[in-house]
Structure 1
Amino acid sequence: MTAKWMKWMTELTSRKWISRLIGRFSHSEVSRLLIPAFAKSYGIPLHEAEKDMKEYRTLNEFFTRRLKPDMRPIHSLPEGLISPVDALITAMGDIQAGTILNVKGQDYSLEELLNYSPRTETYNHGYFFVLYLSPTDYHRIHAPVTGRKLESDHIKGKVYPVNDFGMRNMRKVLSRNERLITYISHDLGEVAVVKVGAMNVSSIKYTDAQAKLWNRGDDLAYFEFGSTVVLLIENGTFEPLPELAAGCKVKMGEPLGRFRTAGNTRRGAADTSRSD
């Protein structure tokens, strides 16, 4: 199948009404019949799930499952930034004058990604991670820092796929898809957790829409089916782990790097271990 044909099919199947239909089915009780096949097909580690597979009433309930306690230890370094999700790092690096460079061959304007928010300036020369969640992954999103909510922004948009084909062949998917953005202030700066919807995702939801404060690792939100998180870090506040690169897998709670403090130099960032 040619790329042109695949692109046309992607456009056709990325309509909101199709996403809503799939969403309604995944919330129906009949969808529970698909859970065993879904789990087997994607190699989902069932031993990590909070409940036995037979206890989930719908496919959506299984997909947004919580994990057993202590399945994702939270890294203890006080000035560390943790991954908010289980994911593949598809891109990471410095933000260049408001531009996120070379995400699957495309550059992204930070203004477009954040829907021209006044907060854009906070990140114009900061750092970014693009974290892709496949259907295999645990799909809850956790707070990457201990802090308080400054603002939340829900941006309506398309539902293009965020897999490799979609990101390479569809124009500016991250800036065109539906997004739910959480801006969080913490002791050493500010971060933005940009949750990007995708094809067949009926919604992105906060675990507690009234929450204002989070400890690092607290349950923040969840996707209904696979998607992507773009994590933005304030200008001049962060050093990534030197061993991380695009193509690395990370688990929720593992460190991505550390925030700069008075005695924290670039060399200090390299001392952060991915395990306690």
Structure 2
Amino acid sequence: MTMRKLISGLTQQKDLNFLLTNRIPRATLTWFIGWFSKIEQPLIRDLSMACWRLFSDLDLSEARKTSFNSLHDCFTRELRPGLRPPDADPATVVSPCDAIIGAFGNIVDTQLFQIKGAPYSLLDLLGDPALVDAHRNGRFITLRLTSSMYHRFHAPHDCRIDRVSFIHGDVWNVNPIALKRVERLFCKNERAVLQMRLTTGEALTLVPVAAILVASIRLHFIDATLNAQTRGPMGFSCDASVRKGEELGWFEHGSTIIVLAPEDFEFCGNVVESARIKAGQPLMRKVRAGDPCLRAEPQA
């Protein structure tokens, strides 16, 4: 096979992937899968999980349970206790989830990137000018959860959660193929904005972004599931104190979490684009006088 044919074939595969996962009634399919996945019927559960295994690297060896009531029960599975201990260094912010590392780096004034050459703004993402100012010229990192991964997410540090805002939107796929084709994708999809403050006073923000098949985000500390059916006020004031590694909630499939931190945080040495990271592993560290440079090469 010539190089030209190989490149052409890969391009056609990417185009087909994009068409199959985006040029369809995304909201309707997402609602249907949400309903279907909760059916507690053994035959439906077993066939659904068999299909899931065909198209993913699903590994349930770490799961707390050995059997599941439904596909949804498997999606939102817990792990056996002690498998994701958070890094103990108090200066370290840890990954809130198992993920593949995407774009990361400096926020240039208020601009960040979903991939190289594809910028979007903090205001479009967060919708709150005051929160934008808190992260101006700060740091950002994108963490993508695939469908087969552990879908629960955890506190990245000891902190207080002051407010949650839910922003209604679309449910585009968030895989790399879609990120290259849909401008400002993260700003178009449904998402929650979790405003946190570390015990040392710094602002830290998590933005769980929903996607096709996963437009539901469960948050324990406000006892709510946020999705297209959520009605009423979209802002939730709260005063929740959480410890590093404590479970915050879950996605109902795979998606993305964007982490925003102030400019006096640097990336840890294990932060490399396309690398896999697990919940609790080092993500960023507050720079202290005399510290060696810890920063990974940012992606932009």
Q: TM-score, normalised by structure 2?
A: 0.82
The 5 Å alignment of 1:34-113 reads 34-39=48-53, 41-52=55-66, 54=67, 56-101=68-113, 103-113=115-125
Residue 234 of structure 2 corresponds to none
Give CA deviations for 1:60-87 in whole Å, capped at 9, x if unaligned. 1111101001111211101111000100
Checking the alignment, whether the CA contact within 8 Å between 1:241 and 1:269 is kept in structure 2 is yes
**Counterpart Cα distance in 1 of 2:53 and 2:182:** 29
Pick from 18, 21, 25 the counterpart of residue 32 of structure 2: 21
Q: Which residue is 2:266 aligned to?
A: 239
Q: CA deviation at 1:44?
A: 2.4
C-alpha contact 2:107 2:137 (8 A) present in aligned 1? yes
Conservation of the 8 A alpha-carbon contact between 2:27 and 2:171: yes
Backbone CA RMSD of aligned residues: 2.1
1:176-206 residue CA offsets vs partner (Å, 9 max, x unmatched): 0000111110123111010000011131111
User: Is 1:180–2:208 an aligned residue pair?
Assistant: no
| 8 Å CA contact 1:128, 1:232 repeated in 2 | yes
What do the CA deviations read for 1:151-190 (whole angstroms, capped 9, x no partner)? 1110000000001111111221111000011111012311
**Counterparts of 1:120-269 in structure 2 under 5 Å?**
120-188=132-200, 189-210=202-223, 212-234=240-262, 236-261=263-288, 263=289, 265=291, 267=292, 269=294
Q: What TM-score, normalized to structure 1?
A: 0.88
**Residues 165, 185 of structure 1: alpha-carbon distance in 2 compared, 3 angstrom cutoff:** same
What SS is found at the alignment partner of 1:145?
coil
Cα distance in 1 for residues equivalent to 2:72 and 2:266: 37
| Matched position secondary structure for 2:61 | helix
Task: Say if 1:149 and 1:14 are closer, same or farther in 2 by CA, change over 3 A.
Answer: farther
In 2, Cα distance between the equivalents of 1:45 and 1:170? 31
8 Å contact kept, 2:75–2:252: yes
**Percent identity over the alignment?**
29
Deviation at 1:16, TM superposition (A): 1.5
Counterpart secondary structure, 2:213? coil
Figure out how many residues of one structure are paired with residues of the other and give that number.
265
- Secondary structure of the residue aligned to 1:185 is strand
Please tell me the residue identity of whatever aligns with 1:63.
F
Out of 116-125 and 67-76, give the one that drifted further: 116-125
Q: Deviations over 1:213-260 (max 9, x none)?
A: 1100110121111100000002x2301113422111110000012113
Which consecutive residues of structure 2, in runs of 5 or more, have no partner in the other structure? 1-11, 224-238, 296-300
